[in-house]
């Protein structure tokens, strides 16, 4: 299955004692699917997986997989090593694994290709490459992107390069058949869709989920009249939701609307400031009024 449409990389809500609030996580999963998301992402960066122990990570996958199984929705799971990928076996709800380009080491493009070839050979599920060079430190040329797309078992890419660069334009001009490009740079999702992306993995879509789903549908249908103004409005909202390290502002907005029990993030993150929270809530409210 080629992943397309809107995927929401779910946050991990915490309760007043700092434990994972699994009931809130399940409710949030249903809410975004009800609002038009095509699928969910478990243990993406937005889920703070660095702060979850092994048992918590497994239970997070269990909770989200149960919802996706019930709803027949697509599910991506963050897994970056052969060991983590093998642990996804016997989970029929999982559509694909979201695998980060090896961070920090900057191993080179040939090594990245060899790395994903090894992962895909060992993985029980297809792979979606997570390309985010300003975090990983590893640039990938358009030629390498096309070679990645040609690897057996690699079905897509979460493309988050910090904007729209020349390689992005060249790649989207000639995407290999059966390969999905999912935008991962929330504020730039509208122009990426206009260039031909197939959807997005968008943390901002915790808020105004239906509007992000409508944006993707409009660009995919070629409805520029609807897509262009909606894209401008959602870019402003996304910028506000990412004004401080993700997912602090998103969690604050969800808590303010009563959808999760606390706005807590785990170290090394800090909670969103009141100013950033107020700004994000203001833009969300303005968006609702504009589109009403």
User: In the chain, where are the structural domains located?
Assistant: 5-221
- Kindly report whether the peptide bond that precedes residue 204 is cis, defined as omega within 30 degrees of 0: no
Stated length of the chain: 292
How crowded is residue 175: how many other Cβ atoms within 10 Å of its Cβ? Answer: 19
Instruction: Given the residues 7, 134, 158, 212, select the one marked as catalytic.
Output: 158
Question: pLDDT tens for residues 75-92?
Answer: 999 999 999 999 999 899
Label residues 17-54 b or e (16+ Cβ within 10 Å = b): eeebbbebbbebbeebbebbbbbbbbbbbbbbbeebee
The answer to whether 283 is a known catalytic residue is no
Q: Compute CA distances 117 → 93, 113, 150, 152, 241, whole Å.
A: 23, 6, 10, 8, 35
- Between CA 212 and CA 67 the distance in angstroms is 21
Q: Find all residues with CB under 8 Å of 82, minimum gap 6, and list them.
A: 118, 119, 122, 123
* CA-based max dimension of the chain: 50
The answer to whether 130 is a known catalytic residue is yes
Per-residue pLDDT of the chain (292 residues; tens, 9 = 90+): 789 999 999 999 999 999 999 999 999 999 999 999 999 999 999 999 999 999 999 999 999 999 999 999 999 999 999 999 999 998 999 999 999 999 999 999 999 999 999 999 999 999 999 999 999 999 999 999 999 999 999 999 999 999 999 999 999 999 999 999 999 999 999 999 999 999 999 999 999 999 999 999 999 999 999 999 999 999 999 999 999 999 999 999 999 999 999 999 999 999 999 999 999 999 999 888 777 6
Q: Find all residues with CB under 8 Å of 254, minimum gap 6, and list them.
A: 11, 13, 28, 206, 207, 260, 263
* Amino acid 292: pLDDT: 61
Q: Which pairs with CB-CB distance under 8 Å and at least 24 residues apart come from 223-228?
A: 224/194, 227/190, 227/193, 227/194, 228/190
How crowded is residue 141: how many other Cβ atoms within 10 Å of its Cβ? Answer: 12
Assign domain 5-221 to its CATH superfamily.
Answer: Aldolase class I (3.20.20.70)
How crowded is residue 8: how many other Cβ atoms within 10 Å of its Cβ? Answer: 29
Question: pLDDT tens for residues 91-125?
Answer: 999 999 999 999 999 999 999 999 999 999 999 99
* Amino acid 289: pLDDT: 76
Instruction: Given the residues 130, 188, 212, 283, select the one marked as catalytic.
Output: 130
Torsion of CA 163, 153, 206, 131, to 10 degrees: -20
């Amino acid at each position: 299955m080629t992943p397309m449409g809107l995927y929401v990389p779910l946050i991990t809500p915490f309760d007043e004692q700092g434990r994972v609030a699994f009931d809130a996580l399940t409710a949030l999963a249903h809410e975004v699917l009800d609002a038009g998301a095509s699928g969910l992402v478990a243990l993406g960066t937005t889920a703070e997986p660095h702060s979850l122990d092994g048992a918590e990570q497994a239970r997070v996958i269990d909770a989200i997989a149960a919802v996706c199984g019930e709803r027949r929705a697509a599910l991506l799971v963050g897994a970056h090593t052969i060991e983590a990928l093998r642990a996804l076996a016997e989970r029929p709800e999982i559509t694909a694994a979201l695998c980060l380009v090896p961070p920090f080491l900057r191993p080179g493009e040939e090594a990245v290709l060899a790395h994903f070839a090894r992962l895909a050979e060992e993985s029980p599920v297809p792979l979606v490459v997570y390309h985010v060079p300003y975090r990983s430190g590893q640039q990938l040329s358009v030629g390498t992107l096309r070679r990645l797309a040609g690897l057996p078992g690699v079905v897509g890419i979460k493309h988050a390069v910090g904007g729209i660069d020349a390689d992005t334009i060249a790649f989207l001009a000639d995407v290999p058949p059966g390969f999905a490009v999912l935008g991962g740079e929330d504020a730039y999702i509208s122009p990426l869709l206009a260039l031909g992306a197939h959807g997005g993995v968008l943390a901002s879509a915790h808020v105004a989920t239906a509007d992000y789903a409508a944006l993707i549908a409009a660009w995919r249908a070629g409805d520029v009249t609807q897509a262009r103004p909606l894209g401008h409005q959602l870019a402003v909202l996304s910028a506000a939701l990412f004004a401080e390290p993700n997912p602090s502002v998103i969690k604050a907005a969800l808590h303010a609307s009563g959808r999760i029990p606390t706005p807590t993030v785990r170290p090394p993150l800090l909670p969103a400031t009141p100013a950033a929270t107020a700004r994000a809530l203001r833009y969300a409210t303005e968006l609702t009024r504009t589109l009403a």
